[in-house]
Amino acid sequence: MRVEKLGSLTDAAALMQRLNVDKPGIKIMAKKSEIMLFLIKDLHVGAANILKQDALSVGADFAVPNGTITCQFKRVDGLLIGSKKHIEILARKELAQPYGLKELAKELRKYLGSKSFPLQIMGIINANEDSFYPQSRFMGERAIAAIEQMIADGADIIDIGGMSTRPGSEEISEDEEFARVKPIIDAITKKDWSVKLSIDTYRPKVARYALENGFSIVNDITGLESDEMAKVVAKFNAQVVIMHKKGTPKTMQQNPYYEDVLFEVEWFFAQRIQKAQAFGIKDIILDPGIGFGKRLEDNIALIKNLSHFQKFGLPLLIGASRKSMIDKIESTPIQERLPGTLALHAAAVQEGATIVRCHDVKEHRQFFTIQQALERAV
């Protein structure tokens, strides 16, 4: 007999398939291998005590402050710990409990039913002269050559924008933005590429022209603030990236502040998803907007807890490529931030990101190919 301790990257379901475990058994047992953590805030102390006992009864646990059992406090925060299977059973039990536990059960079920999406690499093309990373600036024919190289390097999506939205940037006119991207869009229409094309804009005129000419995604940093943009996206049955930001690009990094960044971003997503659906938009991607009106601690919280937004059942996009949060952690010039970028994006993918927006497509494709191979290997 030999015993092997398996690493945290092991894909339990894939391993059971290789062991020829019956399919219904794989479905049941894979849930037992996935540990889930839920921070539950402002819970009635009576609910906390019920949840603690119910969690223990199914093999999970609920960590609460000292004094909870004697009802020393009216409301408490706690950490719910259990496998996916434990949480499934617990959620069913709590549907019959008082003190708001029924509502908690409904929230937990949103995470249990979250969909899985294939990982996609989105390459960045900036048709301007002032984006924060000079090596991402490509105009005219240079843009076409850069796109073709990104496709060869393994890009699934190409995201093209004509206006910089870096912190402190000045807004340009819609006509100027259109003039920058139109030649690239026109040249693309002559190509036979298999990648998806995304237009990075919040201007309806620019989005409409791109969608008329083969693009299928609108990457809107305002998160569909414009009703006209929502109409354009709906008309072409396009996919939209709803991104969160606080303030305008020119002022957004001037002392941004959040009481609870996860709650504020979640609330924003809920409102804008509702708006998108009201206009008839069916295909939505969510982007927490790393660096868009965020402090370092906000960016870190969003990446570490990205799985919080899986409750919406939509693809999650992460875009931390070479951004200043890396420099704030370890002083590094933009040209040397690829290792930090890969670390941030790896953590985000581990937490549920399925679209990675980056400048360095080849390096990202290799990184995630190797990581996925490690997960599949025994």
List the catalytic residues: 323, 357
Q: How far is CA 163 from CA 137, 140, 240, in A?
A: 11, 15, 18
Task: Say how far apart CA 113 and CA 100 lie, in whole Å.
Answer: 21
Q: Which residues pair with 357 in a beta bridge?
A: 122
Task: Say how far apart CA 378 and CA 146 lie, in whole Å.
Answer: 38
Among the listed residues 151, 94, 165, 93, the one whose alpha carbon sits nearest the alpha carbon of residue 319: 165
Amino acid at site 344: L
User: What DSSP element (H or E) covers 283?
Assistant: strand 283-287
For the chain, the helix, strand and coil percentages under 3-state DSSP, each to the nearest 5: 45, 15, 35
CB 76 within 8 A of CB 32: no
Task: Say how far apart CA 350 and CA 207 lie, in whole Å.
Answer: 32
Among the listed residues 203, 175, 204, 191, the one whose alpha carbon sits nearest the alpha carbon of residue 143: 191
Task: Say how far apart CA 94 and CA 40 lie, in whole Å.
Answer: 14
